[in-house]
Chains A and B, each alone.
Chain A
């Protein structure tokens, strides 16, 4: 029977429309107990609406949400155990830290002594025990974040929902809270469902990633698989820094295809999932971090493109070089700073970029626009 094999949390073909706007369209997903799943996508893709439906703050227009095999659609939010950590934290401003954390226990009519013990336990556990009598508006962002986490976890839920919880923090704190969250997940062993638009957060913490676009889940899988093997142009562009070149297949050579693009021929390993015939147009993805740069000509006829330097961007020790292959066509190469020594990176100079065939990847669908 399905009842016994039903995964912990099931989204069964759920949709949600607000008036004429379809925020979520036919989303299906199964989440096992103890997973750390990230829902990611650009703003307006329906990820927060999906999370709010799980918490019962929105009603699905169609489809079914099951928790432990039980249909949740009609269950009021206050009858669910699906605490949410809000983007704005949504701490109760007229209550102390202690009162905030205690709130969920008080609503569950738990006796005072137990409430006190559990609340203090969680405050200590998150390292804010000494703040218990403070007003929440006198806390730093990181402290507020911890209060929000303690408040959500104090009633020992089996799932924790997080809605972009780190977007209000600065970069340094974000990394710290990420590792804290990962530690909590390991210790508690409960399900975490995490919504974010930042791919770095999703890839760093989640055991599975679902990418959403325009209300649909467009790809779901392990972080690295999604990162290295995007199934669509959208995911390839959203998840990592990828370059995509498109052209017709001219020749098949064993399990490699030769593709003629506007910027030269290139070679790509054939995808195992579908057959490619000569003449078919395919899109080839090359990760920006997999590309080599040189100012000499390269002794190869394939997997080489030439362009003029448009500019560069520094993030820490990483440099992204922007090459213009043709007017309006940009090619991005990401390198460690020391790898670029000796290259002329002034704007307008000509550089050659190349890569090996195994680092190219053929998209299953060529969704050109």
Chain B
């Protein structure tokens, strides 16, 4: 009896925690369809006007396209660097490896407000400030560790003799990368592409500092939030949320739900 009560209380506690996590998102989505200028209870009337306003706002349009371009470039570069570093760690042992990996994993542990400023100063100094590729440069170092971690975890599941078995059957080291390592880590590579894309698509601080006039969507949102807030921000936020959660869901699906072959 007491046990059941305690278990019930624990369940309520979990639900409250999840409610806290979901509340801002639910609020946002719900009020993006509310016709009232000020989001407050009671709910007034269902409408798409804020979505229409967003659709017709040229700054939002270009921000959206910019974000997509940046996210795609970041995903490819960061996943490539992450893959190489994961294989480096898996396969080789050499002096200085710890140092390389420590520096590699540092960017996500530095507050992004500092990263944003660091990139602003550096890119301005070397004349690469204010373009879309400035944002890409700023995001890659930040995203690559996530890609590396995913690929490295997948490699850890591999039979340690698999590579040697391929060499033993006549595949050179390069061929083995193509024939064995890439096929084996494919789910992790795909997940890494989507996850880094999501992280880049969401990132507001570095983008806000270095994008100059070529604002990405989150940078645009931040600029709006610091000035005159319009209710269409709800609609924009909902769209951003739906896109980034879709990317993360695809990454999780590839990694977890579609059971990867050959897991030990």
Interface residues of A (CB under 8 A from B): 55-57, 76-78, 82-84, 86, 88, 90, 92-95, 103-104, 107-108, 135, 137, 151-152, 155
> In the assembled complex, which residues on chain A have CB atoms less than 8 Å from the CB atom of B162?
90, 92-93
A76 touches B262 (CB 8 A): no
**Interchain Cβ contacts under 8 Å between A and B, 7 examples:** A76-B172, A78-B175, A82-B168, A90-B164, A94-B186, A103-B171, A108-B170
> In the assembled complex, which residues on chain A have CB atoms less than 8 Å from the CB atom of B262?
92-94, 137
> What is the distance, in angstroms, from B153's C-beta to the closest C-beta of chain A?
16
> In the assembled complex, which residues on chain B have CB atoms less than 8 Å from the CB atom of A137?
261-262
> In the assembled complex, which residues on chain B have CB atoms less than 8 Å from the CB atom of A104?
169-170
A77 touches B168 (CB 8 A): yes
Q: Which of B161, B167, B169 has the most CB of A within 10 A?
A: B169
Q: Which 8 A-B pairs have the closest CB atoms?
A: A93-B262, A107-B170, A90-B165, A104-B169, A90-B161, A77-B167, A94-B183, A107-B171
> What is the distance, in angstroms, from B90's C-beta to the closest C-beta of chain A?
16
A57 and B168 contact, Cβ closer than 8 Å, known pairs A88-B159, A93-B262: yes
Chain B stretch 158-214: residues in CB contact (< 8 A) with chain A: 159, 161-162, 164-173, 175, 179-180, 183-184, 186
Beyond the given A77-B164, A78-B168, A103-B166, please list 17 additional residue pairs across the A-B interface where CB-CB is below 8 A. A55-B168, A56-B167, A57-B167, A76-B167, A77-B168, A78-B169, A78-B170, A78-B172, A86-B165, A92-B165, A92-B180, A93-B159, A93-B162, A94-B261, A107-B169, A135-B261, A155-B170
> In the assembled complex, which residues on chain B have CB atoms less than 8 Å from the CB atom of A88?
159, 161
> In the assembled complex, which residues on chain B have CB atoms less than 8 Å from the CB atom of A84?
165, 168
> In the assembled complex, which residues on chain B have CB atoms less than 8 Å from the CB atom of A77?
164, 167-168
Alpha-carbon distance between A104 and B171 when the two chains are bound, in angstroms: 8
Q: Which of B159, B162, B166, B170 has the most CB of A within 10 A?
A: B170
> What is the distance, in angstroms, from A55's C-beta to the closest C-beta of chain B?
6
B167 touches A78 (CB 8 A): yes
Alpha-carbon distance between A152 and B166 when the two chains are bound, in angstroms: 11
Q: Which of A94, A104, A155 has the most CB of B within 10 A?
A: A94
Q: B164 — nearest CB in chain A belongs to which residue?
A: A57
> In the assembled complex, which residues on chain A have CB atoms less than 8 Å from the CB atom of B180?
92
> What is the distance, in angstroms, from B255's C-beta to the closest C-beta of chain A?
15
> What is the distance, in angstroms, from B85's C-beta to the closest C-beta of chain A?
23
Alpha-carbon distance between A82 and B167 when the two chains are bound, in angstroms: 10
A90 touches B159 (CB 8 A): yes
Alpha-carbon distance between A151 and B162 when the two chains are bound, in angstroms: 13
> In the assembled complex, which residues on chain A have CB atoms less than 8 Å from the CB atom of B166?
92, 103
> What is the distance, in angstroms, from A63's C-beta to the closest C-beta of chain B?
21
Chain B stretch 116-164: residues in CB contact (< 8 A) with chain A: 159, 161-162, 164
> In the assembled complex, which residues on chain A have CB atoms less than 8 Å from the CB atom of B172?
76, 78
Alpha-carbon distance between A84 and B183 when the two chains are bound, in angstroms: 22
> What is the distance, in angstroms, from B91's C-beta to the closest C-beta of chain A?
13
A107 and B159 contact, Cβ closer than 8 Å, known pairs A57-B164, A77-B168, A86-B165: no
Contact of A151 among B161, B169, B179, B184 (CB under 8 A): B169
> What is the distance, in angstroms, from B254's C-beta to the closest C-beta of chain A?
14
> In the assembled complex, which residues on chain B have CB atoms less than 8 Å from the CB atom of A107?
169-171, 175
Alpha-carbon distance between A152 and B165 when the two chains are bound, in angstroms: 10
Alpha-carbon distance between A93 and B261 when the two chains are bound, in angstroms: 6
> What is the distance, in angstroms, from A122's C-beta to the closest C-beta of chain B?
13
> What is the distance, in angstroms, from A97's C-beta to the closest C-beta of chain B?
13
> What is the distance, in angstroms, from A335's C-beta to the closest C-beta of chain B?
42
> In the assembled complex, which residues on chain A have CB atoms less than 8 Å from the CB atom of B169?
78, 83, 103-104, 107, 151-152, 155
> In the assembled complex, which residues on chain B have CB atoms less than 8 Å from the CB atom of A108?
170
Alpha-carbon distance between A152 and B169 when the two chains are bound, in angstroms: 7
Alpha-carbon distance between A108 and B184 when the two chains are bound, in angstroms: 22
Contact of B168 among A83, A93, A94, A135 (CB under 8 A): A83
Alpha-carbon distance between A137 and B259 when the two chains are bound, in angstroms: 13
> In the assembled complex, which residues on chain A have CB atoms less than 8 Å from the CB atom of B183?
92, 94-95
> What is the distance, in angstroms, from B18's C-beta to the closest C-beta of chain A?
36
> In the assembled complex, which residues on chain B have CB atoms less than 8 Å from the CB atom of A95?
183
Alpha-carbon distance between A216 and B262 when the two chains are bound, in angstroms: 37
Alpha-carbon distance between A94 and B166 when the two chains are bound, in angstroms: 13
Q: A163 — nearest CB in chain B belongs to which residue?
A: B161
Alpha-carbon distance between A137 and B162 when the two chains are bound, in angstroms: 14
Q: A104 — nearest CB in chain B belongs to which residue?
A: B169
> What is the distance, in angstroms, from A164's C-beta to the closest C-beta of chain B?
12
> What is the distance, in angstroms, from B60's C-beta to the closest C-beta of chain A?
43
Alpha-carbon distance between A31 and B186 when the two chains are bound, in angstroms: 43
> In the assembled complex, which residues on chain A have CB atoms less than 8 Å from the CB atom of B167?
56-57, 76-78
A94 touches B184 (CB 8 A): yes
> What is the distance, in angstroms, from B200's C-beta to the closest C-beta of chain A?
29
Alpha-carbon distance between A88 and B167 when the two chains are bound, in angstroms: 16
> In the assembled complex, which residues on chain B have CB atoms less than 8 Å from the CB atom of A90?
159, 161-162, 164-165
Alpha-carbon distance between A107 and B171 when the two chains are bound, in angstroms: 6
> In the assembled complex, which residues on chain B have CB atoms less than 8 Å from the CB atom of A103?
166, 169, 171, 179
Q: A151 — nearest CB in chain B belongs to which residue?
A: B169
> What is the distance, in angstroms, from B177's C-beta to the closest C-beta of chain A?
13
Q: B170 — nearest CB in chain A belongs to which residue?
A: A107
> What is the distance, in angstroms, from A87's C-beta to the closest C-beta of chain B?
8
Chain B stretch 223-254: residues in CB contact (< 8 A) with chain A: none
> In the assembled complex, which residues on chain B have CB atoms less than 8 Å from the CB atom of A152?
169
> In the assembled complex, which residues on chain A have CB atoms less than 8 Å from the CB atom of B261?
93-94, 135, 137
Alpha-carbon distance between A103 and B166 when the two chains are bound, in angstroms: 8
> In the assembled complex, which residues on chain A have CB atoms less than 8 Å from the CB atom of B186?
94
A78 and B171 contact, Cβ closer than 8 Å, known pairs A93-B261, A137-B262: yes
